[in-house]
Amino acid sequence: MLITRKAEFSASHVCADPRLSTEENERLYGRESRPLGHGHNYVVEVTVCGDVDPVHGMVLDLKALKEIIREQVLDVYDHRFLNHEVPPFDRIVPTAENVARDIWQRLKDPIGRLGPALHSIRLHESDDLFVEYSETPAP
Amino acid sequence: MLITRKAEFSASHVCADPRLSTEENERLYGRESRPLGHGHNYVVEVTVCGDVDPVHGMVLDLKALKEIIREQVLDVYDHRFLNHEVPPFDRIVPTAENVARDIWQRLKDPIGRLGPALHSIRLHESDDLFVEYSETPAP
Amino acid sequence: MLITRKAEFSASHVCADPRLSTEENERLYGRESRPLGHGHNYVVEVTVCGDVDPVHGMVLDLKALKEIIREQVLDVYDHRFLNHEVPPFDRIVPTAENVARDIWQRLKDPIGRLGPALHSIRLHESDDLFVEYSETPAP
Amino acid sequence: MLITRKAEFSASHVCADPRLSTEENERLYGRESRPLGHGHNYVVEVTVCGDVDPVHGMVLDLKALKEIIREQVLDVYDHRFLNHEVPPFDRIVPTAENVARDIWQRLKDPIGRLGPALHSIRLHESDDLFVEYSETPAP
Amino acid sequence: MLITRKAEFSASHVCADPRLSTEENERLYGRESRPLGHGHNYVVEVTVCGDVDPVHGMVLDLKALKEIIREQVLDVYDHRFLNHEVPPFDRIVPTAENVARDIWQRLKDPIGRLGPALHSIRLHESDDLFVEYSETPAP
Amino acid sequence: MLITRKAEFSASHVCADPRLSTEENERLYGRESRPLGHGHNYVVEVTVCGDVDPVHGMVLDLKALKEIIREQVLDVYDHRFLNHEVPPFDRIVPTAENVARDIWQRLKDPIGRLGPALHSIRLHESDDLFVEYSETPAP
């Protein structure tokens, strides 16, 4: 059984590698590389995998999951300029791929302590682009 | 090839274990445990897995699938108070997890008789919470 | 300038007039009249009309508006059985029309005290049904 | 007859008045005032009002309308930090209200030259907040 | 009080005036003029205006409204090629504007016979284009 | 890491096998078999699977992916009558299943030349029906 909770945050970012020239960044990242940044209403879907408790009928305590997402993701990312305010994005480019992997790393242990395992992170950067990341081994 | 049909139903439920006290249920289920119930516009996605018929170009007869979902799910769940009107929710708590599993059990054999196998059930309880259930063995 | 904030709540209701027979209620309200109730994820859109403050660039304090909606609507309606827990629905039928009008009455004065006037309430009962209510005089 | 075209752009902004202290801005604008900014996927709906041409069956040339929105709005706003790159937001706070009014001013004349009149601008800053602006006189 | 019901239908159409050349039609309607047609999942929103019955709490019988929309719109338009199968589109171009006006004319009298008045028709041709039509006099 | 880009196109089609009678086609495909066709706003989700480049933070060049989808899918399918204008649908029935498989075949090699592998195609024919196709071997 998989259970997924969605949350939203607003953030700004620049996709550019500081070691490259403006032209090289423009060629790699297009308009995402404009130096003053731009922003998105990100939607993150956190999926947890586990057995349903035969008594309670739940995979995990949803109130605890919501609280972990608030603490580990929303309080960190929401209304922030990722490159300047949210490590490790001072060192690595905040592409959707890297943001999804960072969210995985922030959530994996706190969710694991609730019992069931984090299964995957899906991150929507806009209506027509999303990524999905998982370190769960294939069955 | 996977093919998915969506359907909606409106129902009310209480998430509470009658053997527990009000306080214990509140601690487990939060506001979902309020004794008079509340409701949702549930969205169910029924996914079937099969080969595409080389002549007809279809995995299965979609009209037959729609009719099975209507008979086995909508006619049973729609505009009902799950705990009081839809077995087995007189005995088990109608969490999203248990509802998804019950829908799986209602659909598995009727869809199997059409040919292809039921692959998974995704059930949305609200915009920010959904579960996915499958008994399909991993490949 | 109109500004609209959306909020959601889950509630259950029965649309039936206790003075009528089951058959008469069924004829009037259809499946909405089933006596044990059913539920919806209601979406309410609260629209306020006012001038933009030339200094702040806002019609009103959005944080205050959010708090009023939480206090006057969500805390009252969310996870409740409207007929049994939310007056005046012990006396009047909780159709979408009557719920929208009740929300108008709960919000009108608290929003008015912020400065700009409540303009309209739009209430979505499901994806394919919504009502809009206003007591604002035509211009 | 009203006809509406939707478009999207990603931008970042800070809602803060440079003449006020950080605390005063925080009190006025909440998290929207964080100094490094944050961003949104803005959705703009441009509504035009006019008679249907009895021969062509159209209010206006939709290809021309799309081109005007691209030139006057998307090319100006998309992937930009509004406060620093899009006048007049170097001087006025880029609240949703002020952005909607600026879009009205950019579109009014170019659309008017096509024939029918610009009727209103609806701007969604996030899923639960939108504003609507019009200078059209009441009928 | 306004009450709106949504419905969907799939249809194909060509936007081209048979008296014009291919080039002229291409210039007027763009890709919408390709001679073999293309299609949309149209969404129609039917809005009715009326007083809330003080006893029933409803503007009108929603089951009757749904039936009228099915008979007058869905049974006529759904899974049809508008230019060839749905008059008056053998004679006039099935632009969104003309389709919305045709739906108004089909619904006005049958809804009027239920009591309250048809208020407006909103027709979505795609996610980013919709029209709204009304013959209701301004207040 | 999976990365998905969405795109939309409007097309019309008829689901009918020319070797069968009208009655047989109606029994197999229902209203989808009406001979003059009807249409949809199709939404296609193209999912690519690959490792994140440790320097750029991307799975692939999104601008190149967008261009491939435009060339191989949108330029071919958009505003077309599939049975008459888009091979192989002159020979095989354009069911959602067959369209998804055709899109897979058009995209597989051009995307593979960018580096990462095409992972799956999800095609939405309407709000309540979608298919997903993949030739990726199970892990």
pLDDT, one tens digit per residue, over A56-112 is: 999 999 999 999 999 999 999 999 999 999 999 999 999 999 999 999 999 999 999
Which 8-state DSSP code applies to residue F89? T
How far, in whole angstroms, is CA E133 from its chain's centroid? 9
Look at E132 and D52 and tell me if their CB atoms are within 8 Å.
no
User: What is the arithmetic mean of pLDDT over C9-24?
Assistant: 95
F72: phi then psi, degrees, rounded to nearest 5: -85, -25
Look at F57 and A97 and tell me if their CB atoms are within 8 Å.
yes
From the list F58, F63, F139, which residue is nearest A95 (CB)? F58
pLDDT tens, position by position, C76-125: 999 999 999 999 999 999 999 999 999 999 999 999 999 999 999 999 99
pLDDT of residue C136: 84
Determine the distance in angstroms separating the CA of C78 from the nearest CA of chain D, rounded to an integer: 17
Does residue F139 form part of some domain? Answer: no
Joined tokens for residue E50: 């009326």
Joined tokens for residue E53: 């019955």
Largest CA distance in chain A: 60
- For tokens 């199968």, the residue is E85
User: What is the arithmetic mean of pLDDT over D19-31?
Assistant: 94
Chain F positions in Cβ-Cβ contact with residue E79 (cut-off 8 Å): 31-32, 34, 38
Does residue C25 form part of some domain? Answer: yes
pLDDT tens, position by position, E3-17: 999 999 999 999 999
User: With bands split at pLDDT 50, 70 and 90, how would you rate the model's confidence at A139?
Assistant: low
Does residue B139 form part of some domain? Answer: no
- Per the CB < 8 A criterion, the answer to whether A134 and A97 are in contact is no
Show pLDDT as tens, one digit a residue, over chain F (139 residues): 999 999 999 999 999 998 999 999 999 999 999 999 999 999 999 999 999 999 999 999 999 999 999 999 999 999 999 999 999 999 999 999 999 999 999 999 999 999 999 999 999 999 999 999 999 876 5
Does residue A138 form part of some domain? Answer: no
Nearest-angstrom CA–CA distance, B122 and B124: 7
pLDDT of residue A137: 77
- For tokens 């950019």, the residue is D106
- For tokens 């629905």, the residue is C89
Nearest-angstrom CA–CA distance, C10 and C44: 11
Look at B57 and F133 and tell me if their CB atoms are within 8 Å.
no
Q: Do chains B and A touch (3 or more CB pairs under 8 A)?
A: yes
Nearest-angstrom CA–CA distance, F89 and A74: 48
3-state DSSP assignment of residue B101: helix
Instruction: Identify the domain containing residue B33 by its residue range.
Output: 2-133
Helix (H) or strand (E) holding E62: helix E62-69
Look at A1 and B101 and tell me if their CB atoms are within 8 Å.
yes
pLDDT tens, position by position, E65-121: 999 999 999 999 999 999 999 999 999 999 999 999 999 999 999 999 999 999 999
Residue type, D22: T
Nearest-angstrom CA–CA distance, B117 and B120: 9
Look at E1 and C94 and tell me if their CB atoms are within 8 Å.
no
Average pLDDT, chain D: 96
Does residue E79 form part of some domain? Answer: yes
Around Cβ B108, how many Cβ atoms within 10 Å?
15
Does residue A139 form part of some domain? Answer: no
- Best mutation target among F20, F83, F95 (most B Cβ atoms within 10 Å) is F95
Give the N- to C-terminal CA distance of chain D in Å, as an integer.
14
Torsion sign (Cα): B125, B128, B129, B134: positive
pLDDT of residue B136: 83
Domain count, chain D: 1
- Per the CB < 8 A criterion, the answer to whether E97 and E18 are in contact is no
Determine the distance in angstroms separating the CA of F67 from the nearest CA of chain E, rounded to an integer: 19
**In sequence order, which residues have a C-beta less than 8 Å from that of residue D16 and are 6 or more positions away?**
D25, D29, D32, D33, D35, D93
Chain B positions in Cβ-Cβ contact with residue F101 (cut-off 8 Å): 1, 52
Which 8-state DSSP code applies to residue F79? T
From the list E8, E31, E37, which residue is nearest F12 (CB)? E37
Residue type, E84: H
How far, in whole angstroms, is CA D12 from its chain's centroid? 14
- Per the CB < 8 A criterion, the answer to whether F28 and B67 are in contact is no
Question: Is the bond preceding residue F88 a cis peptide, omega within 30 degrees?
Answer: yes
- Per the CB < 8 A criterion, the answer to whether F61 and F30 are in contact is no
- Of F37, F96, F102, nearest to E37 by C-alpha is F37
How far, in whole angstroms, is CA D101 from its chain's centroid? 6
Average pLDDT, chain E: 96
Does residue E81 form part of some domain? Answer: yes
User: Which chains are within 8 Å of D by 3+ CB pairs?
Assistant: A, C, E
Q: Are strands D129-133 and D2-13 parallel, antiparallel or unpaired?
A: unpaired
ipTM of the complex: 0.94
User: With bands split at pLDDT 50, 70 and 90, how would you rate the model's confidence at E139?
Assistant: low
pLDDT of residue E76: 98
CATH code, domain with A41 = 3.30.479.10
Res B139 pLDDT > 60: no
Is D138 an interface residue toward C (CB < 8 Å)?
yes
Nearest-angstrom CA–CA distance, C111 and D36: 31
Nearest-angstrom CA–CA distance, B47 and B44: 10
Does residue C138 form part of some domain? Answer: no
**In sequence order, which residues have a C-beta less than 8 Å from that of residue D59 and are 6 or more positions away?**
D1, D3, D48, D49, D50, D51, D52, D53, D116, E97, E131
pLDDT of residue C25: 96
Burial E75-102 (b: 16+ CB within 10 A, else e): ebbbbbbbbebbeebeebbbbbbbbbbb
Nearest-angstrom CA–CA distance, E23 and E16: 10
**In sequence order, which residues have a C-beta less than 8 Å from that of residue E111 and are 6 or more positions away?**
E46, E48, E60, E65, E68, E117, E118
- The pTM of this model reads 0.96
User: Which chains are within 8 Å of C by 3+ CB pairs?
Assistant: B, D, E
